[in-house]
């Protein structure tokens, strides 16, 4: 999906265009799913690559401290990343690297024993710092239940993108999650249907 | 959230199921519904055919007590007393003879059905007979009604119970040729089809709630009532994650 010639790229470009068309204010997006296995990380990477391919400066940050996936998907180590920045005083840019021109990826970093790191003020500050130098910051978040419990993920950024998988996510669970997000006054930007067999590559 | 305001769809009521979503679900599972309808219709037709043709004829006898002080609910009790006095084994054998019934007397009784119905100042006795042929059903219902009237007149002459049960009885309506079994089969089929639509629809909604497969973006939009910003096809080059 990082390859501009990939047949799946145009679908991510459509997603990026739709996201950008929502409004100028959408800069930081929390990407979550009702259950694990919906493909949040691949959607984050695909969306980031599409934005970068369209000329935007994008960043993907792995915020799933309980089960980080970004580095695994890229086949890279997870020695430093978001948690390193939260514990230190350096910016997220310092712990990330560009995998394609215009797309910065920041892995989760060493998994902390205390996952409440995301609830600190520092977390919002480092993401804000990243936003200052980027057109879009995509936060690869844990499942929606964790996002709902996290005051920073649920209320500190511009909106939430919900990923449902076409063959793995139960409809009833997805519906309940959508209702929960809206009941919690979270700005749900929209839904991404991942793994659809009804769309041709 | 920071600066983005909530859009219209986010403020919509979400606790009720809109017709558009129900229709979408039903259309998506139309094969299931059609299958259930076809199955139930076939079962109903088989049931109707194996049950054999049956015709029900109906005649009504009105009975008016000569004692004008009997009114209201007392008339029902009066009617039952008259019926008890009229219907005897010997009388019933006479009805069977007139009806041309040559089968088992118990079966004849099983095929008879009575209902007491108020008719203004009078009380009516509705007699139904279900036969294997229309003529048989008509003959039996009319034989019962006619002999009932004759028997009441006879009892009047005999001053039954000292005249306490004296009544005037007439055949209010005679049985006519009943509707055919083809109409009954049609009714069975229509009822089965309606039941099939209901059962299939309920099953479709139930299955949809438990389903894990999403057909397309429209399916997701209707189910979640949220805009679908992107549809990513299934591609095998990226492995399992999350």
**How far from A98 is each of A2, A40, A61, A133, CA to CA, in Å?**
12, 19, 12, 13
The CA distance from A125 to the nearest CA of chain B, in Å, is 14
The predicted structure's pLDDT at residue A106: 96
The predicted structure's pLDDT at residue A14: 94
What token pair was written down for A159? 């909106």
Q: Which residue of A has its CA nearest to B218?
A: A193
CB contact under 8 A, B235 and A7: yes
The predicted structure's pLDDT at residue B242: 45
CA distance B130 to B134: 9
The complex scores an ipTM of: 0.91
The DSSP element (H or E) to which B168 belongs, if any, is strand B167-173
Other C-beta atoms closer than 10 Å to the C-beta of B187 total 13
- How many CA atoms are closer than 13 Å to the CA of A197, on its beta-carbon side? 7
Q: What is the CATH number of the domain that holds A135?
A: 3.40.50.300
- Structurally, chain A folds into a number of domains equal to 1
CB contact under 8 A, A11 and B231: yes
pLDDT band at B11 (very low <50, low <70, confident <90, very high): low
Provide the 8-state DSSP code for B69: T
CB contact under 8 A, A156 and B2: yes
- Give the full edge-to-edge strand order of the sheet including A188-196: A97-100, A103-106, A58-62, A136-140, A28-32, A159-165, A188-196, B228-233
pLDDT tens by residue, B52-96: 667 888 999 888 887 777 777 777 788 888 888 888 888 989 999
pLDDT tens by residue, B188-224: 889 999 999 999 999 988 887 777 788 888 888 888 8
Residue B83 CA, chain-centre distance (Å), reads 28
**What 3-state DSSP class applies to A192?**
strand
CA distance B30 to B200: 9
What's the start-to-end Cα distance of chain B, in Å? 25
pLDDT greater than 50 at residue B158: yes
Whether the Cβ atoms of residue A148 and residue A154 lie closer than 8 Å to each other: yes
The rounded mean pLDDT for chain B is 81
CB contact under 8 A, A170 and B212: yes
The residue segments making up the domain with residue A96 are 15-194
CB contact under 8 A, A8 and B216: no
**Phi/psi of residue A104, each to 5°?**
-95, 135
- Stated pTM of the model: 0.64
The predicted structure's pLDDT at residue A157: 94
CB contact under 8 A, B3 and A193: no
The predicted structure's pLDDT at residue B241: 45
pLDDT band at B161 (very low <50, low <70, confident <90, very high): low
The predicted structure's pLDDT at residue A141: 95
Each of the 201 residues of chain A gets a pLDDT tens digit; together they read 778 778 899 999 999 999 988 876 789 999 999 999 999 999 999 999 999 999 999 999 999 998 999 999 999 999 999 999 998 889 999 999 999 999 999 999 998 777 688 888 999 999 999 999 999 999 999 999 999 999 999 989 999 999 999 999 998 899 899 999 999 989 999 999 999 886 665
**What 3-state DSSP class applies to B164?**
coil
Fold observed for domain B55-179: Bacterial polysaccharide co-polymerase-like (3.30.1890)
Residue A8 in domain: no
The CA distance from A101 to the nearest CA of chain B, in Å, is 21
Residue scoring higher pLDDT (B223 or B239): B223
All residues of chain A having their beta carbon less than 8 Å from the beta carbon of residue B12 are none
Other C-beta atoms closer than 10 Å to the C-beta of A160 total 24
Residue A91 in domain: yes
The predicted structure's pLDDT at residue B217: 87
Residue spans per domain, chain B: 17-49+183-224, 55-179
Beta bridge partners of B124: B62, B117
pLDDT tens by residue, B87-142: 888 898 999 999 898 888 888 988 888 888 877 767 888 999 988 788 888 999 99
Q: Which residue of B has its CA nearest to A180?
A: B14
The CA distance from A66 to the nearest CA of chain B, in Å, is 10
Whether the Cβ atoms of residue A135 and residue A28 lie closer than 8 Å to each other: no
Residue A2 in domain: no
CA distance B52 to A133: 85
């Amino acid at each position: 999906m990082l390859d501009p010639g990939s047949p799946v790229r145009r679908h991510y470009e459509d997603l990026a265009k739709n996201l950008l068309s929502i409004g100028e204010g959408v800069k930081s997006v929390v990407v979550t799913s009702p259950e694990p296995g919906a493909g949040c990380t691949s959607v984050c990477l695909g969306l980031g690559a599409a934005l970068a391919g369209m000329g935007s400066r994008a960043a993907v940050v792995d915020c799933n401290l309980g089960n980080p996936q970004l580095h695994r998907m890229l086949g890279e180590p997870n020695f430093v990343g978001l948690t390193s920045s939260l514990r230190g005083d350096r910016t997220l840019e310092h712990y990330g690297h560009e995998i394609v021109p215009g797309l910065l990826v920041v892995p989760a970093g060493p998994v902390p024993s205390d996952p409440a790191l995301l609830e600190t003020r520092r977390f919002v500050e480092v993401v804000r710092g990243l936003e200052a130098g980027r057109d879009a910051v995509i936060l690869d978040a844990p499942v929606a239940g964790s996002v709902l419990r996290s005051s920073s993920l649920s209320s500190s950024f511009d909106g939430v993108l919900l990923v449902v998988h076409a063959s793995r996510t139960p409809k009833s669970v997805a519906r309940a999650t959508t209702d929960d997000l809206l009941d919690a006054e979270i700005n749900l930007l929209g839904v991404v249907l991942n793994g659809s067999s009804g769309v041709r590559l | 959230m920071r600066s983005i305001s909530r859009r219209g769809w986010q403020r919509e009521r979400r606790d009720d199921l809109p017709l558009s979503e129900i229709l979408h679900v039903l259309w998506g599972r139309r094969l299931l519904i059609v299958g259930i309808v076809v199955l139930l219709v076939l079962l109903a037709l088989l049931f109707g055919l194996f049950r054999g043709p049956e015709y029900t004829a109906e005649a009504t006898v009105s009975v008016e007590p000569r004692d004008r002080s009997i009114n209201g609910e007392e008339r029902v009790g009066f009617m039952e007393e008259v019926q008890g006095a009229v219907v005897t084994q010997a009388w019933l054998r006479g009805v069977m003879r007139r009806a041309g019934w040559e089968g088992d007397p118990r079966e004849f009784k099983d095929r008879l059905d009575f209902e007491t119905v108020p008719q203004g100042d009078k009380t009516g006795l509705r007699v139904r007979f279900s036969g294997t042929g229309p003529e048989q059903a008509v003959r039996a219902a009319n034989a019962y009604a006619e002999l009932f009237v004759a028997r009441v007149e006879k009892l009047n002459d005999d001053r039954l119970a000292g005249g306490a049960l004296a009544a005037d009885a007439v055949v209010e309506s005679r049985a006519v040729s009943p509707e055919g079994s083809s109409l009954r089969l049609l009714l069975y089929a229509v009822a089965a089809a309606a039941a099939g639509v209901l059962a299939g629809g309920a099953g479709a909604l139930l299955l949809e709630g438990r389903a894990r497969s999403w057909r397309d973006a429209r399916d997701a939009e209707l189910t979640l009532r949220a805009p679908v910003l992107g549809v990513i096809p299934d591609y095998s080059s990226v492995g399992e994650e999350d």
